[in-house]
Amino acid sequence: MKKKIIFLFVIVVMLASLLSLSACGCRTQKEEVYYGEAGFFKYRYTPNDKYYKMCIYDVTEEALDQEVLVVPYYIDGILVDGINRDFWEGIGFKTNFGYLTAKKVYVPSIEPLGIKKFDNRQLETIVFYQHVGRIDMLLFGTADNYVVIEEYYDEQFAHEGINYIMANFLLLNNYPSDNGDGEKYAWADYVPTGEGLSVMPIEPICEGYIFSGWYSEPECAHKVDLSNFKMGEGDTTFYAGWIEK
């Protein structure tokens, strides 16, 4: 009887230790944790977490009715480095990810985000609008079409049964000198000829600079209005402009 009590006590202690883990990484109970919402996403910010500081862990109720969703790569100027629903569902919490009805989802990349699957039967297309990472490591399995940047596509890692579409609309961060987070692309999408953008791109940020708009050349001589943009023949590339603060 005494051995059973000790065994049960050890199990309880182990469960308590597991519950002290963060949604996107390990942490101590003394660390600061902040919760909030950004658009259609719920986030958890742990400033001192070694691996995941800004983590998206759920979507809002309003997200459930959206046909198109854009996963941000910055929230309040902080890089989103984790998207994880599995931890919460594993300890009994219900998230809204499984109730999404979106047909198209934009996500920044696979690495280092550690993105988990969107269990959404209506989902038709996933657009990787930045660095896709290793496409053989994709954890999405419900979409028929993946829009990827050709520079990051490697056929040897492609999944059978997935239709890979090369992005033909590209926005480059065009950072001044070595400023910025190092990401080459700010946005990528596939736009059929004669059509406009289905969603407006996320504006990039760069420390010490103010984003001034999109331009047709790296030197930023001719500004473009994306709200009136219509896709022509071939690929289109625009460049971010920056003004020093």
Digit-by-digit pLDDT tens for the chain (245 residues) are 555 555 444 454 444 444 434 444 444 445 688 999 999 999 989 888 777 788 888 889 999 999 998 988 889 888 887 776 555 555 556 778 778 888 888 888 655 444 555 656 778 888 888 875 555 445 455 678 889 899 888 787 777 778 899 999 999 999 987 665 567 899 999 999 999 999 999 999 888 999 999 999 999 999 999 999 999 999 999 999 999 99
Pick the CATH number of 21-167 from 3.40.50, 2.40.50, 1.10.10, 3.80.10: 3.80.10
Residue spans of the domains in the chain: they are: 21-167, 169-245
Write out the two tokens for 34: 């902040």
Q: Where does 46-135 show beta strands of DSSP type E?
A: 54-59, 68-70, 74-75, 78-79, 82-83, 104-107, 125-128
- Torsion angles phi and psi, residue 64, rounded to 5: -65, -25
> Would 21-167 and 169-245 be classified into the same CATH topology?
no
Query: Which of helix, strand or coil describes residue 123?
Result: coil
Tell me the whole-structure pTM to 2 decimals: 0.77
Pick the CATH number of 169-245 from 3.40.50.300, 2.60.40.4270, 2.60.120.10, 2.60.34.10: 2.60.40.4270
Question: 194: closest CA among 242, 231, 163, 223?
Answer: 231
